[in-house]
Amino acid sequence: MKAYPLVYTPSGHVLISPDDDPGRIMDEIVATGYDMESCLALDFDPDFAARLIAAGFLVLSVRAKEGGNTVVVLEPTHHLRRSVLFFDEFHESRSAKRLLSRYELKAGAAFDTIIEKCRITYGDAWLTRELIDLLLKVRKLKKPDARFFSFGVYREGRLRAGEFGTISGRVYTSYSGYHDENSAGTVQMILTAHWLRENGFAFWDLGMPLPYKETLGARVLNTEDFLRLWKKARDPLPLFLQ
């Protein structure tokens, strides 16, 4: 296949526009050895963002300087090393397993609340107001290859921890999570893994590698190996076809 032309910014980032094919850009940056973890995009159109997600990008945002002003731009991200959890390799700590019966997992619940809790907990360096507005618009599209989703755990009827991310085919990709009480975050991850496995997901994309993810049993893959698995898991699950 003919090489797909890449456009670069003065900073050396690949610039992606709505007229581009994000899937071919992803293939090309892998083929050319592009060594930055992020690209840039100026358009906050939800259909464009959905196509980026369907190609394997995480849609983040970043503040940039332009003519003395600060502007927010999209930062389509593809981690050079990616943590992937296969459910038959998932490690559950005994101490956390004893707590599972105290909590209830609700899939798809409290999305707006969870995303706001993540913003409050970690700040808005990448989870800007502009990005949140975009994610909410993408969520309303309900595309099976680019659907924003959430998981919340409740104890005594109150939300105690949660996370949000995207569903693309049979892959769930984590974006961010938070917890309000000790152990609730660990319980949320265990119950989420159970739910994903029971509902036919191929694997859980945990994003950038961190020690706690390896403790859970996640493997670290390079972008090329990750994309190979991603493409094999593109067929949508019946649960998310409407």
CB 14 within 8 A of CB 40: yes
pLDDT tens-digit readout, 70-124: 899 999 999 999 999 999 999 988 888 889 999 999 999 999 999 999 999 999 9
Nearest residue to 232 (alpha-carbon basis) of 91, 84, 90, 78: 84
Is 127's pLDDT higher than 60? yes
**Is 25's pLDDT higher than 60?**
yes
Query: Can you give the pLDDT at residue 143?
Result: 92
Q: Which residues contact 94 (CB under 8 A, 6 or more apart)?
A: none
The first and second tokens of residue 114, run together, are 């969870």
Reported CATH class of domain 7-77: alpha beta
Q: Mean per-residue pLDDT for 35-39?
A: 96
Q: How many C-beta atoms surround the C-beta of residue 102 within 10 A?
A: 14
Cα→Cα distances 46→63, 97, 171, Å: 19, 39, 20
Structure tokens at 48: 């464009």
β-partners of residue 153 are 105, 161
According to CATH, the topology of domain 81-240 is Aminopeptidase (3.40.630)
Q: Which residues contact 228 (CB under 8 A, 6 or more apart)?
A: none
Is the per-residue pLDDT at 6 higher than 80?
Answer: yes
Query: DSSP E strands: which ranges in 38-146?
Result: 40-41, 58-66, 69-77, 81-85, 104-107
The amino acid at residue 158 is: R
Would you kindly state where each structural domain of the chain is located, as residue ranges? 7-77, 81-240
Residue 240: which pLDDT band, with cuts at 50, 70 and 90? confident
Predicted local distance difference test score (pLDDT) of residue 95: 83
How many Å apart are CA 69 and CA 53, to the nearest integer?
29
103: left (phi over 0), alpha (psi -120 to 50) or beta: beta
pLDDT of residue 65: 78
pLDDT tens digits for range 187-224? 999 999 999 999 999 999 999 999 999 999 999 999 99
Q: Which of 43, 45, 3 is nearest to 24 (CA)?
A: 3
Beta bridge partners of 166: 148, 173
